[in-house]
């Protein structure tokens, strides 16, 4: 049975900010979780241009019925600087995807890695002891990269067209995981896990993030793209006989975590 909708003067307002924003599934899904638990709150998509982010952050601090917000592309990295407290995960990733108001300021965390690897695990794949290739080292990619290593990958190769960003992440991760991180490319051969953390596939005509002609059965291919429901990379991987997780798997795995953080059921902590 669907919980009744409640919107009144006591409704807590949780923005999810991005550019673009049309691809996000969070507003309805997180709002449903809140309603199902009897919590008077709603998650609303907010489309902000990158140059307008500083002004928006100043405004949200003044909104007393906004206990927190979710950040998506391209705001995960700049929102880190807005926070007065961040987790070790967020600091290592150089990004946050959820920001919660607390006494004295705002706390930030990076849950993308948790959701991504939990989603992969739900499909029956375990990265422990296996080599992995990750394409994309932005906010989400940095969090995913760290979690791949935390969960025991034998090796992680990183690729990004922004080589400075890639190299900075390799350096940060090498400090904590010496000998297990290196620069990679778009060739997926030799990797048990092939992971995409870029928006490639979201728009018609986007190039594929890896050379899909080299994918083979037995590899596991995962993606962050949630729209289309089956991104081109996942479609090609399934045609090759690979195990797969589209972006919806990542989202579903972390939806409850995000909702509970926004509602205050959980606290942001390491």
Point out the residues that are catalytic.
76
DSSP 100: E
Q: How many other CB atoms are there within 10 angstroms of residue 79's CB atom?
A: 24
DSSP lists the bridge partners of residue 261 as: none
Tell me whether residue 10 is exposed, middle or buried, using C-beta atoms within 10 angstroms of its C-beta: 0 to 12, 13 to 18, 19 or more. exposed
CA distance 120 to 252: 11
The runs of H, that is alpha helices, within the chain are 26-36, 53-62, 78-82, 88-93, 112-122, 139-150, 163-176, 232-239, 247-263
Determine the length of the chain: 270
Compute the distance between CA of residue 238 and CA of residue 216 in angstroms, rounded to an integer.
10
């Amino acid at each position: 049975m669907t919980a009744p909708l409640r919107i009144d003067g006591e409704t807590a307002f949780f923005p999810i900010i991005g550019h673009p924003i049309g691809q996000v599934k969070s507003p309805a899904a997180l709002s449903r979780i809140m309603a199902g638990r009897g919590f008077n709150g709603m998650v609303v998509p907010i489309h902000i241009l990158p140059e307008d982010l500083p002004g928006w952050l100043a405004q949200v601090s003044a909104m007393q019925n906004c206990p927190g917000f979710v950040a998506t592309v391209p705001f995960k990295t700049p929102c880190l600087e807005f926070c007065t407290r961040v987790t070790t995960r967020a600091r290592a990733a150089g990004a946050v995807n959820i920001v919660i108001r607390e006494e004295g300021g705002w706390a930030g965390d990076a849950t993308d890695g948790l959701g991504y690897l939990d989603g992969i695990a739900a499909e029956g794949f375990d990265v422990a002891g296996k080599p992995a290739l990750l394409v994309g080292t932005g906010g989400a990619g940095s969090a995913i990269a760290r979690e791949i290593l935390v969960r025991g990958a034998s090796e992680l190769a990183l690729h990004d067209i922004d080589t400075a960003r890639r190299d900075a992440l390799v350096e940060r991760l090498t400090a904590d995981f010496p000998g297990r991180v290196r620069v990679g490319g778009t060739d997926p051969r030799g990797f048990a896990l092939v992971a995409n953390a870029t928006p490639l596939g979201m728009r018609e005509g986007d190039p594929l993030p890896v050379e899909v002609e080299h994918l083979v059965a037995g590899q596991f291919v995962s993606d962050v793209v949630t729209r289309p429901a089956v991104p081109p990379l996942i479609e090609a991987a399934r045609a090759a006989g690979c195990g797969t997780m589209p972006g919806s798997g990542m989202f579903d795995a972390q939806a409850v975590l995000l909702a509970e953080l926004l509602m205050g059921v959980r606290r942001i902590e390491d």
